Structures are given as C-alpha cells and as structure tokens.
Amino acid sequence: MSLPSQISFSKKRTWSHDLPISFLMQQGVENPGVLSLAAGLVDQGSLPVDSTRKALEALFADPKTGREALQYGTTAGSLALRTLLLSHLSNLEQKSADELGITVDNIIVTTGSQQFLSLAGEVLLDPGDICLVAAPTYFVFLGVLQGLGARIISVETDEFGMRMDALESTLEMLESQGELAKVKMIYLVSDYENPSGLSLSIDRRRQVVEIARKWSRMQRILILEDLAYRELCYDGPVAPSIRSFDPTGETVILTQTFSKSFSPGLRVGFGVASPEICAAIRDKKGNDDFGSTNLSQHILARVLDDKLYYEHVEQLRSVYREKRDCMLDAADACFSDIPGVHWVHPNGGLYVWMTLPESIETGFQSPLFQRAVHEDKVMYVPGELFYAFDQGISAEEQPAIQKNHMRLTFGVQNPEGIREGMKRLSNAVKSLS
Amino acid sequence: MSLPSQISFSKKRTWSHDLPISFLMQQGVENPGVLSLAAGLVDQGSLPVDSTRKALEALFADPKTGREALQYGTTAGSLALRTLLLSHLSNLEQKSADELGITVDNIIVTTGSQQFLSLAGEVLLDPGDICLVAAPTYFVFLGVLQGLGARIISVETDEFGMRMDALESTLEMLESQGELAKVKMIYLVSDYENPSGLSLSIDRRRQVVEIARKWSRMQRILILEDLAYRELCYDGPVAPSIRSFDPTGETVILTQTFSKSFSPGLRVGFGVASPEICAAIRDKKGNDDFGSTNLSQHILARVLDDKLYYEHVEQLRSVYREKRDCMLDAADACFSDIPGVHWVHPNGGLYVWMTLPESIETGFQSPLFQRAVHEDKVMYVPGELFYAFDQGISAEEQPAIQKNHMRLTFGVQNPEGIREGMKRLSNAVKSLS
C-alpha cells in the first residue's frame, strides 16, 4: 500500500529550497575533469597534519585528558578553550579583554562560524524582519536569511566596503516607508569579503557603529560582524574589528572561525556577544545539539596554548600570499588584453573578484558558464549568487543584480593549477568577447 | 552613551526560555559536593581512549588521510561513514539494506542525534502543529518542540511503552476537534526510554506504523523514532526498530547516535529518512553548519571498519549491566521498606524511574529536592520535567502532570557512588514519608 497523503513540510522549509551551493557541488561531481576555481575549500597541502597529530598525542598520552575530550562538553563550549580565545582576541585586537569588555561568558563555541551566524539569525530574526547586507556578500549567509524568511536589503559598496552614505540613505528610505522597526541587523564581512576580497576601511568600522546606534530608535539595530578571513592577511597586520569600536558590546556581535586559519574539518568557530544574546543563543544551541564536538575544542585549545597555532598561521600566510600573487600575475598575463575586464587585488582572504564587460553574463545558464565547464574545463562561481533578492518588494522594484562578475579562488589549486585555470578561463571569455 | 533601545528577539526566542536543563546544570555547578544521580553523562572510566587513539594514529600516520579528515566534508556527511552505517544498521536489524529500503542517500550524519531531532522538527513543524509524545518522554526533545512553537500532546504509557489504544483515542479526539490536519508527528523513544527505562513492545512497533498510516488522511503523519539507547541492551539482543516495520520508509524517520555507545565528545549521530525529508534536512543543515565535524566522522569510520567499535560496545554493556544491577540492588536495600515507592527494572539504557507516594512531590521547588541537594547531598532529575505542557489548551484542561517521580541514572557514578547516592536519597525520602 502506498500512502495517498503528502508530507506537509514546515513553511520555512519552502524558503530554503534550491540553494545554489548544492548546484555548484553537483557540477563539481558531474564534471570531474574540470579544474575548479570555484570550490571554497582551503589549501589541502598546508592542512595542519603535524600540529594536530602532536596535539592528539599529548591529549591521549594521559587517559584522563583523553577521557575529558571524549565526554560531553557544555553547550557554550570548553572553558579552557574560551579562556584561550580571550587572549587570542586580545592579541588580534591589540587590546586587553577588559578594554574589549569581554569575558569568557561572552563567548560561545560553535560548529564553524557558520553555526554562529545561523544561531544569531534564529534568535533575532522573524519572517519579514530586515537585514542590511553589502552587495555583493557571502551567499551562504544570504541562504540563512532566506531560510528565516527575512527581507534582505542590499547596500552599495565601493573599494572600501559598504558605503556609509548608502547605508544612511537606505535607513532613511526604510524610515520613510514606515519599516524602520523591522530593521534588526546589519551584516558585514569586515576583512577580505567573500566574494569581493574587499575590506571595510577603518573609518567606516567606526562609523557603522555610530550609524547603527543612531538609528536604534525603535529597537536595537545590531551589527553582525563576520571575521572568517581576518587572520588570512598577506600585506599587513590584522585589522581591528568593528567590535573594537563598540567597547560596551551592545551593538556588535562578532564571529570568527578556525576553518580558514587552521582546519575546517574540526568545525570550530566562535562568537562574541552581549550576555542577553549569548543566553538566547545558548538556549537555541541547547535544543539544537547541546554543544559542538568536544574533541575538536580540546585540539584547538592545545594548539593555541603551545603556540603551534601561531606558527601554522604564519606559514599559511606565506603559502596563500604566493598563490594570491600567482593568480594576480596570471590575470595580468591572460586577461589584461581583453577590453572591459578588471579585477580586485585582495590583501587577504581566498578570492579574486573579476568583472567582465556588461554584455557577458556569468550565471549557471549563461553561454560563458556552459562553455567554461564543458569546453574549456574550468569552473568559477557566478557573481550574481552574491547579490540578494529582496523578498519584500516586487521583481520590478529590485535593484539591478549585476550579472557580469566571477568569483575566482586561489585556495584549492596549486600555482600550476591556478595558471592553467586562468588560461582556460580567459579562452572561454575571449570566445565570447 | 548607553543605548535607549531594547534588543528585539525573534518570536521563537521567547518559546525557548528557562530550559530546565540549564537549571539542572547550574545546580551541579553551585553544589559541587553533591553526589549526582542526575547528570546524563556517560561512564567516564569506559570512554574509548585506546580505540580512539589507535584510530587517530592510523589516520595521521598517512598525511593524505590526515588531511582528508582536516578538510571540509559534505553537508550529508562522509560517504565512507555512511556506507559503514548501512552495514551497521543491517547488523542491528538483522536485515539487509535492501530489505530495509535504505541506501547511503537516505542517511545524514549530524552533531549527535540531538541535531537530527532538531533538524527534523525544523523542516516539518510550524507553530501550532501537533506532535504526539509518550508521557513521560525525553525532555530535551520537549524543549525542541516548545522552541518551534509546536503543540505537544501526551499519550499515556504502560509497561510496554506508549499505549496504542490511547494513541488511537487521542487521534479520534483531535479529529473530532477538527485538528487532525495539524498532526504531523509521533515521537517515540523505542528502547529504554529516557527517563522511564521502558521499551515499546514489538507488537506495538508494528501497530504504530499501521496507525500512523491509517490516520494519514489529510497529510502524512510521520513517526520520529529516537534510538539513542538501542545498543545499550543488557538482557538480550538489540530489538528491531519501528522503522523495520516500514520497509518503504514513507512513515518512519529513524535517528541513532554514537554518544552513548562510543563517545559523546565526538558528537556523531545520524538519521535515516525518505529522500524528500533528507533533501529538506540537508538544505537546513547546509545553512546551519554545512556539515558536522569531519575528523569525528573519520574516527568513527575507522573504529566501525576495524571492529574496535563492536568490541567496545560489548565491554560497555558489561560495565553498565553491573551498574544497573548495583542500582537496582541498592533500591531494594534502601527503598523497599518505604510504603508506596516502586521503580522500573530497565533492560538497557542508563536510567531507573522511581515513583514515590503521590503526596511526595519531587520538583525543583519541592521540600524533597531542597532537602536532597542541601542536606543529604544527592541530586536526581524531577520526573515532572518529562511531561509535556500542551500550549494549545488552557492550564485547566491540561492532563494532570505526575509530580511524584524521579529519574535516577547509573551512568556516571561508580558502584560505590551509586550505593552511597541511593542511601542518601532514601534518607531524604524517608524524612518526608
């Protein structure tokens, strides 16, 4: 007997259908001969096998510490790790924990920073609530917002990140439409944004806190600061966070991860927020999984404590710096003679954002994408995925989504693969120019 | 300048306030001298330090496999692990994967089975939807349901688990109230339920599938089967799941974990569901964390593959069997002379469910709890936490919540601690009898 009745999914299930990440991953699987400048993985060769092995040997040399790592932890995460995270943050910000207004109780360890982003969205956003984002921005967080039924409103960016004048005019517009009470959050990737590679200037980091506070008339407008790439800096020191300009911590929620700077397979990220927000996130996380992998937290605590972590990050920077330079050199060599093509020189992160002439679209269904994957055997991520669609207004009212960009990553391929990939990609672009 | 405006949390945030688990953990922290028969941790001494060390040594002996474990995995989980889970399930059910109608695509690896329970709730339940549960049942899942704004309706149990006649009359009642279209799910802990230690009889496992199908007139009524304790069986073989009576897999969603049978610190659980439901859960999990800890999955795959896992489970059963017997003997010795006190003899799991005379309440604010914690220095979990409150009806209409039970666990304490704890607890009970 087959059942006549259908499964009745939740309403929010219908909001998170057809995520582009699934299509991309499928493309990778179906086209194994394709050289990927698309995959958001990290460099395979520099994954910290030795540091991790050392940490594990030390951990399991004593059955007592081994058992602790194999037992349940707490929902907020290991106290030892959170204590080390305090000094890690102090180091990065060049300020004491006191100056930052942070204690261990402000920190929650999560399954990558992705889980923290998702939890922050869950406890703060109702369907119809508004989150302001840069255009372009990290598309998996756009998926989170969409899955929560939130309205996503894009704010223009320039070479210094989200434009503060555009942010103010968006808030003015929303106020004039009677929507200010719906604005709950401004999402910002401060350093080497995925996909654009751009960073928010230090001036704007200060300004955005002031703007959020100024417009918090009806309810608090929070800044969710995503610092996933902050430690992958190749041309200078780590920049101070937006959070560092909000010493009371009332406005900014910060999240970081060890996925890019150490190992994504451990799935350890963390967030810093005010006590009220931490309580809300702990409650939700208590229902969701009551704590991320304890073993991973013990490994991270070891490598932070004995400085293996910092050695690894130094080494990683030089690996990625070389690959970044390799991709930029290859771009010069292969693309500079194609009219209307230009690209960002990122100071960190994993991505080069390339703009094509407006006549060349880059989407999954475009001639360029089809030609690149099927003939030239190279893959990129179409830029249009990184622009939000505002579900609160009609298609005609949407700001124009730019369709002529590509996100290229130098994370996965070695220098040879990067050069070959860029050559193949330039062939595809030239065939359509 | 302090901000005048308040944080505006999401509506669902207000549904998951004041979770009893937080209060319990707080009690543990504030009363360090208290002997806990409450904590749901597993036996510390038998955590698999050696097996895990061996698996890690093998994994990191080859930098290639080490790197794979440290790289991103996929949202659904490691294919190698999911392949091993197929034979693991076959083993447990004594049926081939074909007979069970399961392939690797029906399996999703999660952060403990808790995350699978939470994800299943997220994709299936809207606020106001109804989930039927046993009374008593696992209170953290009650928290999940509450956090989703779902209505929780309790169904009476007897020594063979949820009563099927009571389930049918509840469905009849809901139909007569025009609420049948809201009934989405029946949640069942088949083996050695937390807290009662009771198992659903084999006959009822077959019947409940028939009942769910019969009542799936408006929309499909799904059974969410929680098998967290299935491998902790002390008096006989592993029982066939409810899922094994649903060969098409249209009605039953199954979840299991390695937290109880191997190590909770690895946070590896998994679920088995139909392709439609797996797709929905993958999409949600893609937004939430895009995959659980890859390293843990590689460890589990190793220990399953080289049978270290099965040796460990055998050993664990004898450790817990002894502790279970110790607690039951201590109950006989300390409680059998107190009138009106009786308890369940569990065939597996971690809990002994004890009933006191109706006049002795056991809640956090009760004289018994206060006396036990502060004078006798012993802690239990009050039974009332395991009974649902139906948010769809008024307090007067609620079925009476039984307030005279205690959940006692033999998981954490050694035999000596169990005997001492039971003695202390009997003193507290006697003082109030």
Q: Which domains are assigned to chain B?
A: 11-47+313-432 (3.90.1150.10), 50-310 (3.40.640.10)
Chain A positions touching B12 (Cβ under 8 A) are 122-123, 126
Please, is B134 exposed, middle or buried when counting C-beta atoms within 10 Å of its C-beta (0-12, 13-18, 19+)?
buried
Q: CA A342, CA B156: separation in Å to the nearest integer?
A: 69
Q: What is the pLDDT of residues B110-141, one digit of tens each?
A: 999 999 999 999 999 999 999 999 999 999 99
Under 8 Å CB-to-CB from A31, ≥6 apart: which residues? A373, A374, A377, A379
Rounded to the nearest angstrom, the minimum Cα separation between A246 and chain B is 11
Helix (H), strand (E) counts: chain A: 15, 14
Beta bridge partners of B130: B151, B183
The arithmetic mean of pLDDT across residues A156-185, rounded, is 96
Under 8 Å CB-to-CB from B145, ≥6 apart: which residues? B121, B125, B131, B133, B152, B187, B388
Residue B27 has pLDDT above 70, yes or no: yes
Residue A100 sits at φ, ψ, to 5 deg, of -80, -15
Q: CA A115, CA B288: separation in Å to the nearest integer?
A: 5
Q: What is the pLDDT of residues A7-16, one digit of tens each?
A: 999 999 988 8
Under 8 Å CB-to-CB from A160, ≥6 apart: which residues? A198, A199, A200, A201, A203, A204
Q: What is the largest CA-CA distance in chain B?
A: 67
Cβ–Cβ gap B216/A4 under 8 Å: yes
Query: What DSSP assignment string belongs to A142-205?
Result: HHHHHHTT-EEEEEEEETTEE-HHHHHHHHHHHHHTT-GGGEEEEEEE-SS-TTT-----HHHH
Share of chain B above pLDDT 70, in %: 98
Query: How confident is the model at residue B361, as a pLDDT?
Result: 97
Cβ–Cβ gap A70/B122 under 8 Å: no
Cβ–Cβ gap A13/B292 under 8 Å: no
Q: What is the largest CA-CA distance in chain A?
A: 67
Query: How confident is the model at residue A401, as a pLDDT?
Result: 81
User: Is A156 in contact with A204 (CB distance < 8 Å)?
Assistant: no
Higher pLDDT pick, B223 / A22: B223
Residue A30 has pLDDT above 90, yes or no: no
A318: tokens are: 């030089």
Is B299 in a helix, a strand, or coil? helix
Q: Give the number of beta-carbon pairs within 8 Å between A and B.
A: 288
Chain B positions touching A277 (Cβ under 8 A) are 7
Residue A4 has pLDDT above 70, yes or no: no
Chain A positions touching B122 (Cβ under 8 A) are 10, 12-13
Query: How confident is the model at residue A18, as a pLDDT?
Result: 67
Residue B1 has pLDDT above 60, yes or no: no
Which of A17-21, A182-186, B176-180 has the weakest average pLDDT?
Answer: A17-21
Q: CA A230, CA B313: separation in Å to the nearest integer?
A: 44
Instruction: Tell me which residue in B45, B48, B66 faces A53 most closely, judged by beta carbons.
Output: B66
Q: CA B348, CA B41: separation in Å to the nearest integer?
A: 16
Q: What is the pLDDT of residues A66-80, one digit of tens each?
A: 999 999 999 999 999
Residue B18 has pLDDT above 70, yes or no: no
Give which of A16, A44, A108, A293 to mutate to test B binding, by max B Cβ within 10 Å: A293
Cβ–Cβ gap B266/A41 under 8 Å: no
User: In chain B, whose CA is at the least distance from the CA of A127?
Assistant: B10
Q: What is the pLDDT of residues A196-228, one digit of tens each?
A: 999 999 999 999 999 999 999 999 999 999 999
Instruction: Tell me which residue in A4, A184, A267 faces B293 most closely, judged by beta carbons.
Output: A267
Is A43 in a helix, a strand, or coil? coil
Cβ–Cβ gap A5/B114 under 8 Å: no
Q: What is the pLDDT of residues B359-378, one digit of tens each?
A: 999 999 999 999 999 999 99
User: Is B131 in contact with B226 (CB distance < 8 Å)?
Assistant: no
Average model confidence (pLDDT) across chain A: 94
Instruction: Tell me which residue in B45, B68, B286 faces A19 most closely, judged by beta carbons.
Output: B286
Rounded to the nearest angstrom, the minimum Cα separation between A427 and chain B is 31
B113: tokens are: 């089975």
User: Is A352 in contact with A344 (CB distance < 8 Å)?
Assistant: yes
Chain B positions touching A24 (Cβ under 8 A) are none
Q: What is the pLDDT of residues B210-232, one digit of tens each?
A: 999 999 999 999 999 999 999 99
Query: How confident is the model at residue B30, as a pLDDT?
Result: 76
Give which of A10, A11, A52, A409 to mutate to test B binding, by max B Cβ within 10 Å: A10
Average model confidence (pLDDT) across chain B: 94
Residue B17 has pLDDT above 90, yes or no: no
Higher pLDDT pick, A73 / B390: A73
Rounded to the nearest angstrom, the minimum Cα separation between B188 and chain A is 17
Cβ–Cβ gap A218/B5 under 8 Å: yes
Q: CA B104, CA B79: separation in Å to the nearest integer?
A: 7
Give which of A22, A60, A65, A288 to mutate to test B binding, by max B Cβ within 10 Å: A288
The arithmetic mean of pLDDT across residues B315-329, rounded, is 97
